[in-house]
Structure 1
Amino acid sequence: MTALHKILIANRGEIAVRVIRSAKQMGYRTVAVFSDADDNAPHVQLADEAVNIGPAAVSESYLRVDAIIDAATKTGADAIHPGYGFLSENADFARACQAAGVTFIGPSSDAIELMGSKRLSKLAMIAAGVPCVPGYEGDDQSDERLVAEAECIGFPIMVKASAGGGGRGMRLVDQAADLPEQLRSARSEALSAFGSDELILEKAVQQPRHVEIQVFADSQGNAIHLAERDCSVQRRHQKVVEEAPSPFVDDALRQRMGDAAVAAAKACNYCGAGTVEFLVDAQGSFYFLEMNTRLQVEHPVTEMVTGVDLVEWQLRIASGEPLPMAQSQLRLNGHAVEVRLYAEEPRQQFMPQTGRIARWQVPQEPGLRLDSGIGEGQLIGAHYDPMLAKLICWAPSREEALRRLASMLQDTVLLGINNNLQFLQAVLRHPSFIAGEATTAFIAEYGEQCTPPPEPGTASLARAAAVLYESNAAAAKTMSAWRRSAPESCVFTLAWEGQEYRVDLVATGKQREFGVAGQRHTLQVAGSDAQSCVIEEDGVRRRIHFARDGKQLFLDDGSGHFIFDDTSHAAAKADATAGSGLLKASMDGAIVEVLVAEGEKVSCGQTLVVLEAMKMEHPLKADMDGAVAAIHCQAGDQVKSRQLLVELNEEAL
């Protein structure tokens, strides 16, 4: 047995908050580490002690092994919990903890090293008799060998970063002609994210389910599984919705997959929490995908159907205790569903977003759980993953869990930054998902049906103008004058994503009549305050939440989150529009590569610059045919959102 007293959490955000809470409940003292960007983050405030470990960039803070070990030394922490991401699956970090006499709360460095390599782990699983997808996992990494192996495997294939996960360094390639460019792109992203550009190839299993098994093992050689989670709803290979148990898995399949997962854990002398991920086809055949040697983002759904605190188990196993439960004691109770709330814009292919959180409010009810690491006023920058929080619901049945979670999302208020709240609601209420038919192709097939309209409708613009009218009146304290019986008229000009919309308003008492793009809208204002407005439309009243920052309005009217600029009294100005030839940064980030030179001819849709933000690479494309007139950036530059990067000149053709 190893007596632990103080635990340092080498992470940030919601997982750091999650670990701190369980550690405190068990009586441990806690230490947070934070970058300059996280100076006032919730996990810093919740911990007993906190240590600044460097600037915002992860390479200078959360990935600095020396800084984290030094923080443990100066605070007297005798154990380190790595959370997930960052250094959680870094074998060198586990070794550094051991060398410093600090307990690493996770498996051995050897197990991390083996299972952290998709290539080596797959070889080990084949040897252990675990079903695997056909592919290439050899050590010859030349383009020539990979192209040749891909031809042997047959297209479509998956290109995967051997050292990574979370969809980074992963590419689906449908035809041979696209493979060389996808290999280059995957290598670049993998090297940036994981420090290794080693790749493997796998036959693409078409429209599978993504089902994973939670395993746990102790230092005495015991290992069990805690059943499965279904994580099939994904975009860019990142999970969006997870549930336990899977609506597809029956008792017999659960037994077979559980036995395979335990065999995988024993094959690498595993100790602690781990997850064995499988692809499952329509016939119930399953194939090893990877093993994550850490706690998973989606672990709450397992906790809610098993009644187990997985972080508590991690801490007990790290102290040398045996597993608290035998396999025969496992019982599943009810159903749990989790959604990941991201700072992203579904209307723009889920592009990650940056900004400051103006409002954050989640309903508190029995059976509902929030795992969050954000707070009002917090700046969401480009340095970290765009996941903000997880919302989880448990109920006796799957039908009730889905219904309650969708309602919870509808009552959640998140303003100030574009997000996927509306998208998640639509997924949970989609007939295919409700029927339990979702595969990894769900978003490709039905994502458009779940995505908010590409731009604000006339009704949303009318509501925005109504909110501004009421808010302006309240600020000016002339509500009585604004609401006199004689009609008052005014014009609002609202800017959204570079487009301006004119809204004509006529106010009579509590009635508001709007003219927008030739459409007429009439509504009644039943009440308003500084954070919401009660609007009656067609005899139905509902509350609309908003926030303001000067002339900027953050609004969620049930059709998506909008950021409007009130430019009603601003001078007209030119800006980049479709076909303007002005390429601007889509968000804060770093320039990875500039793919063109001044004077070079380019075509509409051609990638000109590659931007890295929120741990992903984003290709920025030309919006017209032309020639490069000027380049305002170079590889390595840190750029701000909407910063001008490249100018095209149509005349130069």
Structure 2
Amino acid sequence: MIESLLVANRGEIARRIIRTARRLGIRAIAVHSEADAGLPFVTEADEAVCVGPANPAQSYRNVEAILAAAQKTGAQAIHPGYGFLSENADFARTVEAAGLIWVGPGADAIAAMGDKINARNLMAAAGVPVAPGTTDPAASVDAAVAAAAEIGYPVMVKAAAGGGGMGMGVAADEAELRTQYEKVGAFADRMFGDGSVLIERYFPRVRHVEVQILGLADGRVVALGERECSVQRRNQKLVEESPSPAVSPELRSRFLAAAVRAGEAVGYRNAGTVECLLVPRQRGSQVDGPGAEEFFFLEMNTRLQVEHPVTELVYGVDLVEEQLRVAAGLAPTFDPDALAPRGHAIELRINAEDPKRFLPGPGVIATWNEPTGDGVRVDSGYVAGNTVTPFYDSLMAKLVVSGADRAEAIERARAAVAGFEIAGPKVNLPFFAELLENAEFVSGDYDTGIVSRMR
């Protein structure tokens, strides 16, 4: 097993990785910005190194500073967490070129799946369903218009190099497409350094379902069930649950098989997620109710997901430990041929934002009292006295609940939300209290438009 691990991240995910590392007897090393010096992940690590000022480009994305910290502390491996450099193929190559172990998929797999158009084409060739769309970037607005005429409106205009719900726009007609093409392209060039866009069919009512995969050290790819991620604001997830209330056993079998094919197509190793769009059955049809007729590949996240805890609770595994074992060339702790889900889990992303418009509301945390009880887990990045700064994502904690079934998980979530006390920054807990009483959510028959309908 790896003996020393540098965590190239911050907040709750750095704290989460450090917790598993220390349980396994691995020396845990944190890197942090000047703004994060007082956060729990820094004090809980065996060693910590400041890598720069608050600006992520000068700290958490500062490759030279991170590698210097690894050399200074004698780190054997680097875990990138999620965000920042986690899906940067060049960083993965640089880490390995420095003689360190990269706790993640190979750089070639990261690069292959980092371009949405390339990823779509690879998945189609592997027999994974993809939505109708372009196989090459739309080189001009006229090319986009011609593609949309063939695909059929409405269409989604997407940044080819984007991810995490950023760089997307919907067009219902040609005029709107021309506007969105310029807007998305400019955004993509500014954010990702690549203004290429693709055009896909847009489905007005859709669910967002993803599959957790793990590429093992022996070359096999296994799937650890699916997660429902349809409660979103601005294409950003707020709630995830496993298993999905929309997925039947037959559909689950197809989902998992497609995800395994996706991983095998790029020789995937370590943890990853295959994200899909699930098109629900039409309301009022003879097959009304939870369920779906078809699903399409959306993208592959070549890293550990924010929502990995719901899979951990349903499958009884520690995904960070499995990541470390794969990186060390070791067999998993579980039997890949006997994976079976148990119960239901729901994750709520507790953000420093107002519960109505979801605008960031950083500040000093005056009160922080986490809920406890059966089936309650809190992965947090802060404690009372810490400051939520405006420099990073607004995520403060993940409230994760589990139960024997979905109804019990919802009941436990209601109690946990009511028992979570946070004062100082703005917080979205009131939104979750409302959601957990919402008839559409409670029924399980909801889609990505649920938050907008609530607002």
- TM-score interval (norm. to shorter): over 0.9
Count residues in correspondence. Answer: 444
Q: Is 1:181 aligned to 2:165, yes or no?
A: no
Change (3 A) 1:114 1:185: same
The answer (yes or no) to whether the contact 2:170–2:177 under 8 Å persists in 1 is no
186, 199, 202: which is aligned to 1:201? 199
The separation in 1 between residues aligned to 2:124 and 2:360, in whole angstroms, is: 37
The 5 Å alignment of 1:251-400 reads 251-282=249-280, 283-347=292-356, 349-400=357-408
The answer (yes or no) to whether the contact 1:301–1:337 under 8 Å persists in 2 is yes
Shift of 1:79: 0.3
Matching residue's letter, 2:391: H
Q: Is 1:144 aligned to 2:152, yes or no?
A: no
Shift of 1:6: 0.6
The separation in 2 between residues aligned to 1:188 and 1:40, in whole angstroms, is: 37
Change (3 A) 1:376 1:70: same
The answer (yes or no) to whether the contact 1:111–1:269 under 8 Å persists in 2 is yes
The separation in 1 between residues aligned to 2:186 and 2:419, in whole angstroms, is: 41
Q: Residue by residue, what CA displacement relative to the aligned partner does 1:158-205 show, whole Å, maximum 9, x if unpaired?
A: 122222222111222333223333333323433444333322221112
Corresponding residue for residue 237 of structure 2: 239
Corresponding residue for residue 283 of structure 2: none
Q: Is 1:120 aligned to 2:129, yes or no?
A: no
Q: Residue by residue, what CA displacement relative to the aligned partner does 1:59-86 show, whole Å, maximum 9, x if unpaired?
A: 1111111111111111110100000011
The separation in 2 between residues aligned to 1:375 and 1:435, in whole angstroms, is: 35
Q: Residue by residue, what CA displacement relative to the aligned partner does 1:206-259 show, whole Å, maximum 9, x if unpaired?
A: 211111111111232111101111111111111111101111112111111101
Task: Find the residue that maps to 1:168 and give its secondary structure.
Answer: coil
Q: Residue by residue, what CA displacement relative to the aligned partner does 1:394-430 show, whole Å, maximum 9, x if unpaired?
A: 1111101101111111111111111211001111111
The answer (yes or no) to whether the contact 2:49–2:69 under 8 Å persists in 1 is yes
Q: Is 1:404 aligned to 2:402, yes or no?
A: no
Q: Is 1:423 aligned to 2:431, yes or no?
A: yes
The separation in 2 between residues aligned to 1:345 and 1:153, in whole angstroms, is: 38
The separation in 1 between residues aligned to 2:91 and 2:138, in whole angstroms, is: 27
Corresponding residue for residue 162 of structure 1: 160
The 5 Å alignment of 1:447-596 reads 447-448=454-455
Task: Find the residue that maps to 2:378 and give its secondary structure.
Answer: strand
Corresponding residue for residue 566 of structure 1: none
| Structure richer in helix, relative to its length | 2
The separation in 1 between residues aligned to 2:30 and 2:184, in whole angstroms, is: 33
98, 104, 107: which is aligned to 1:106? 104
**Bigger mean CA offset, 392-401 vs 356-365:** 356-365
The separation in 2 between residues aligned to 1:307 and 1:139, in whole angstroms, is: 42
88, 107, 126: which is aligned to 1:90? 88
**Bigger mean CA offset, 192-201 vs 10-19:** 192-201
Shift of 1:319: 0.2
The answer (yes or no) to whether the contact 2:137–2:160 under 8 Å persists in 1 is no
Q: TM-score, normalised by structure 2?
A: 0.94
Task: Find the residue that maps to 1:314 and give its secondary structure.
Answer: helix
Q: Residue by residue, what CA displacement relative to the aligned partner does 1:335-387 show, whole Å, maximum 9, x if unpaired?
A: 1011111112233x322222222211112222100011012222222221111
The 5 Å alignment of 1:219-234 reads 219-234=217-232
The separation in 2 between residues aligned to 1:323 and 1:163, in whole angstroms, is: 32
The separation in 1 between residues aligned to 2:261 and 2:87, in whole angstroms, is: 20
Q: TM-score, normalised by structure 1?
A: 0.66
Corresponding residue for residue 447 of structure 2: 439
The answer (yes or no) to whether the contact 2:137–2:197 under 8 Å persists in 1 is no
The separation in 1 between residues aligned to 2:259 and 2:129, in whole angstroms, is: 10
The separation in 2 between residues aligned to 1:192 and 1:310, in whole angstroms, is: 34
Shift of 1:326: 4.0
Percent identity over paired residues:
47
Structure 2 unaligned residues grouped into runs of 5+: 281-291
The separation in 1 between residues aligned to 2:340 and 2:118, in whole angstroms, is: 34
The separation in 2 between residues aligned to 1:352 and 1:399, in whole angstroms, is: 31
Matching residue's letter, 2:13: I
The separation in 2 between residues aligned to 1:422 and 1:192, in whole angstroms, is: 34
Change (3 A) 1:381 1:169: same
Structure 1 unaligned residues grouped into runs of 5+: 449-653
The answer (yes or no) to whether the contact 1:168–1:193 under 8 Å persists in 2 is no
The answer (yes or no) to whether the contact 1:154–1:203 under 8 Å persists in 2 is yes
7, 10, 31: which is aligned to 1:9? 7
26, 31, 34: which is aligned to 1:33? 31
Q: Is 1:71 aligned to 2:80, yes or no?
A: no
| Structure richer in strand, relative to its length | 1
Where in structure 1 do 4 or more consecutive aligned residues deviate above 6 Å? Answer: none
**Bigger mean CA offset, 357-366 vs 231-240:** 357-366
The separation in 1 between residues aligned to 2:347 and 2:172, in whole angstroms, is: 32
Task: Find the residue that maps to 2:177 and give its secondary structure.
Answer: helix
Matching residue's letter, 1:279: L
**Bigger mean CA offset, 232-241 vs 166-175:** 166-175
**Bigger mean CA offset, 389-398 vs 202-211:** 202-211
Relative contact order (C-alpha < 8 Å, sep 6+): which is higher? Answer: 2
